């Protein structure tokens, strides 16, 4: 009697659909209750907004030139039940580098009752993206240094650390104090497409060579056409935020030496996000640029009626290769809120052969090496053959071969033997 072992239902990885909105919201709610990272909670909030404007988002994804905002969401399903989710997006305009924004795994499911099962589902989600997004040559992600489960998951799937990141929070009171300082920036200019080469050079010089190679950004990453600008305005309106940008121009060197981007949250649901890019030789710009952003944030906070927006503060990040920024943020009293690890891995896709190598014959391999027609002798080959024949003729004239000498000597001997003997008589 044979015992039949029940087969484990196969886990299916597929793109997120409209019918998955409610299960995904429930999954995000369970994960966000245990999540301490404000950065990841912000990403979850963006996922929750998908349900309210799913049709508009689907329409925007079909438009051209919207690849920079092309977020893809895949779910792991078993028996019509969502076990996990992964969210990825292209990091640059050429789409050679992609970013893993979030991996969510259900912890209250009986299928994921162990850490091993969670790693298995997470690995399937990651490998699905690595194998199916063929345009991606490099993948990057950020993980909290205290999140041991996700850190082990990423390491097992080939991700290696690149840099340590520290997120800082500047309170609203500190913003008001920094706004009182004068920002002496006479060459502070607004950003346009004409400034893309300057911003690209600044981006390249502000990071180590390894990160520059992995990020693989080009001038096109710092440009935006009319359609991209319109889509960005729509998304800002939907997400209740406003963006301000500017850069510092150095007239003597004709280069950009500093850049800032301030994302002001009107609804107060998240802290205001700041992005700084400073040339390592001009670190004295940190006080000036942060004061400039504080003035903008303070002015906007006074105009916003929401009390939450006035108390959200300002958040920005520093890397371990930016010690001057970390020193200045510590000096002004900014508090570190999260330590993350920037990780990356490369992808080499295997090219499938159209014909198996075992069935190839040597004649088939060398078939492409045969000339299509009889080769025509060139002028050089004709001269070489002519000079060779001339050398052989000269050698015969001046240096006769031994065979010819033997032939001549034998003829002489035969001629002498044919003469009649001379016994001293004269004819």
- The token duo for 361 is 């014959």
pLDDT of residue 71: 82
419: DSSP letter: S
Overall average pLDDT of the 247-270 stretch = 90
What angle, 0 to 180 degrees and rounded to 10, lies between the N-to-C axes of helices 285-303 and 172-179?
110
Q: Which of 29-43, 253-267, 405-419 has the lowest mean pLDDT?
A: 405-419
Parts of the chain belonging to CATH 3.40.630.30: 12-158, 166-346
Q: Say if residues 76 and 12 touch (Cβ distance below 8 Å).
A: yes
Query: In the structure, what pLDDT confidence band is assigned to residue 399 with cuts at 50, 70 and 90?
Result: low
Q: Which CATH number is 166-346 given?
A: 3.40.630.30
- The dihedral through the CA atoms of 268, 269, 270, 273 has a sign that is negative
* pLDDT tens track for 147-183: 998 999 999 999 999 999 999 999 989 999 999 988 8
Question: What backbone phi and psi angles, to 5 degrees, belong to 391?
Answer: -65, -40
CATH architecture of 12-158: 3-Layer(aba) Sandwich (3.40)
Which residue has tokens 């050089």? 380
Query: In the structure, what pLDDT confidence band is assigned to residue 88 with cuts at 50, 70 and 90?
Result: very high
Check pLDDT > 90 for residue 405: no
Query: In the structure, what pLDDT confidence band is assigned to residue 334 with cuts at 50, 70 and 90?
Result: very high
Instruction: Tell me the percentage of the chain whose pLDDT exceeds 90.
Output: 45
Q: Whole-number mean pLDDT of the chain? A: 79
45: DSSP letter: H
The predicted model scores a pTM of 0.72
Q: Which CA distances in Å does 289 have to 114, 189, 245, 250, 328? A: 48, 12, 11, 15, 12
């Amino acid at each position: 009697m044979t015992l039949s072992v029940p087969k484990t239902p196969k886990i299916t990885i597929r793109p997120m659909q409209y019918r998955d909105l409610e299960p995904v919201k429930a999954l995000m709610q369970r994960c966000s209750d245990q999540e301490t990272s404000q950065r990841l909670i912000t990403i979850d909030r963006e996922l929750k907004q998908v349900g309210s404007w799913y049709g508009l988002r689907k329409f925007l994804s079909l438009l051209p030139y919207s690849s920079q905002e092309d977020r893809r969401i895949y779910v792991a399903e078993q028996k019509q039940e969502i076990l996990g989710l992964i969210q990825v997006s292209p990091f640059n305009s050429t789409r050679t580098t992609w970013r893993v924004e979030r991996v969510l795994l259900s912890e209250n499911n009986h299928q994921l009752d162990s850490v091993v099962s969670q790693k298995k589902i997470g690995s399937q989600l990651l490998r699905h993206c690595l194998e199916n997004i063929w345009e991606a040559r490099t993948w990057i992600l950020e993980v909290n240094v205290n999140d041991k489960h996700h850190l082990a998951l990423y390491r097992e799937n080939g991700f290696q650390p690149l840099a340590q990141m520290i997120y800082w929070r500047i309170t609203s009171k500190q913003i008001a104090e920094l706004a009182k300082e004068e920002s002496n920036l006479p060459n502070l200019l607004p950003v346009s497409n004409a400034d893309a080469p300057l911003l690209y050079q600044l981006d390249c010089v502000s990071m180590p060579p390894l990160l520059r190679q992995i990020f693989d950004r080009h001038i096109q990453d710092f440009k935006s056409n009319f359609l991209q600008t319109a889509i960005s305005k729509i998304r800002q309106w939907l997400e209740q935020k406003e963006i301000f940008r500017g850069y510092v121009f150095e007239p003597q060197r004709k280069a950009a030496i500093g850049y800032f981007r301030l994302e002001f949250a009107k609804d107060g649901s998240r802290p205001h996000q700041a992005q700084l890019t400073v040339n390592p030789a001009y670190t004295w710009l940190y006080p000036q640029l942060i004061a400039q952003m504080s003035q903008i944030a303070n002015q906007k906070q006074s105009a916003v009626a929401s009390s939450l927006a006035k108390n959200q503060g300002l958040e920005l990040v520093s890397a371990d290769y930016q010690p001057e920024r970390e020193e200045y943020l510590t000096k002004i009293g900014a508090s570190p809120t999260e330590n993350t690890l920037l990780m990356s891995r490369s992808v080499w896709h295997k090219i499938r052969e159209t014909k198996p190598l075992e069935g190839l014959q040597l004649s088939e391999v060398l078939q492409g090496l045969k000339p299509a027609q009889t080769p025509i002798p060139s002028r050089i080959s004709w001269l070489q053959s002519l000079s060779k024949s001339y050398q052989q003729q000269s050698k015969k004239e001046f240096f006769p071969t031994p065979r010819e000498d033997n032939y001549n000597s034998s003829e002489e001997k035969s001629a002498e033997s044919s003469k009649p003997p001379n016994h001293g008589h004269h004819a």
